[in-house]
Chain A
């Protein structure tokens, strides 16, 4: 019976904004929220202002760093950008997506999802932060990544080999160094410049970018010749410093094992990492 009354209500077009579906003619409080256009314009303007703000903050920060020759801690950059993004996100969800006016269930679904995301991110970060606790070797970077070793490894059985990209044979070189040497159709690599006798030009361009330390392929030490041979502190996850010269301690833990053990077995600990590992044993 109720089905019939609904149909009549709809076909008569006897509806109002508070009961758009014509279902509950006696329930005057019920209805779908219709947004106010002024509110929507206001939210759009707020979002655009926040976009300008985050871009302004980024540029201000860059300007401060160059004008006063200081390095700001990286959390300022991250906190500034992400807090503004969070405010913008809340504005979109609450007003454009109408969570503020909607059933609480929909907000609950999204909040539960974000809770799951926080577990996901949180545990990944805890893992990264605590790797050194259990296995010392997992705390450090074992090799300078991006080495195309697996791409070049001969497959035991050709029929089961998986090709993940164009066949690249870097001859054991990292992808980045391979690219540096060979370049591509649009940008020439080191080999091209060597052929033309303009190697200095290549390295000048390379080191002026953001030189970190002398490159493996820089055989004639243009790094030192061009005056980049000093260093300014190191980067960490919270602070990235463009620097010149070798990273302090970069090669300290890759010294040949045989030499160290034969000459000074158990008597001296030269490098910091060795001392630290010794302390942890107790």
Chain B
């Protein structure tokens, strides 16, 4: 029995972590809190500022290159901040702080797992992405393969990822805003959806990037301030902090031991793979690599992004530990005033309570505004990635076969953005009361199993043919979806069956090999004339990938 509970906790933690990472929903339906005017005013300031930027960006968004990639004129530092912003969502701040608060060292292990993928992306992918890509990652997969079929496949899997991720973000946004701002769930959903449409349709990638940059700075500043104020109470001594924390925490000395978290190696490895390669297959993250001038700036963006992420994770670790004492020992933050009972607003509120304890209502308001801004920024990035899959891949390349004018293509992408915004609002409302924990796993599973294998093979393996790419891509997509549907998180928790058909919650370890094997076997057995030509065309692509010669240049402004 004890074993079972342990296993349960482990699964729960994985879910929390996956959500924390991806900015998904905060567990369960939250309770509406009193209207928080500090937070609302500060959020309005943020919105005013970003609207000003959108207005400015709109005047600079004329060509398709401006719209999709900000004309390729973002610097490495700016892009690094924006990537870090995409990566550190509201739930990273809230979920991971709560995890350290509850589980101590386990939370720290998780943060390393979220971080470790970045160096690998830099070493193996960043410069090839920049050298080969233009607007979307299908530019790379379809480089020497059949444009129509491969782009359609890539667009379908991109849109799948974007939709699942959007649902998770929207529902998370509604719950969080209800909790932090004391607004109605539906009000929050409409606010997020409409603001996102405005940013993206008017300001394109320029506005989206700047929203992301501003939000990343706010998040870094807010987190750092709270950490300093809290850590200062312990004389900035890690020794003192830990001594006191282990003395009061229910885990005692075990606080600093790895717990039940990664006890099951299969899940641990599968999760690790999914996080690492899912990140490398997320369309809105991949798109960020096309916004910089050249491969040099692309590399710098990863350097800055990973620096910010690593720094912030360590800040969160300290915040969580300090929270054990500052929040966990203060009856003011518990329902009914019983220390050790239920935290007001739920377990994910540790970071917020900590902000209030060390910096009063102003700091709390600031942090709440940051959380809202964060969701908005991530949702905008997603919408832009989805819209570009529709307008650039499906409309301009597949339907119009490259004959669409730029003005028309931009118009289609704006319409697509508005449709995606509407879809996001509808889905957000439909899924309000649903258990959507699996959505994030699904988004990552599909990204890791459908997007990543075909992308990496198209860059590294000469032998990949159209037929192989299609089998690999669709195979990965279908198997990732099926593994998740048959796992406990959907089969039991949502469909209420007795036992899961697939024993693990993380699909990556199983779906990725399916995609790679299918792509490999089908390409190898493809003896068509076209396959021969595609293999021949790899030579030129290879030289371009290595040297960047012929890569898309920044537009002139």
Real complex partners, A and B? no
What is the interface of chain A, defined by CB distance below 8 A to chain B? none
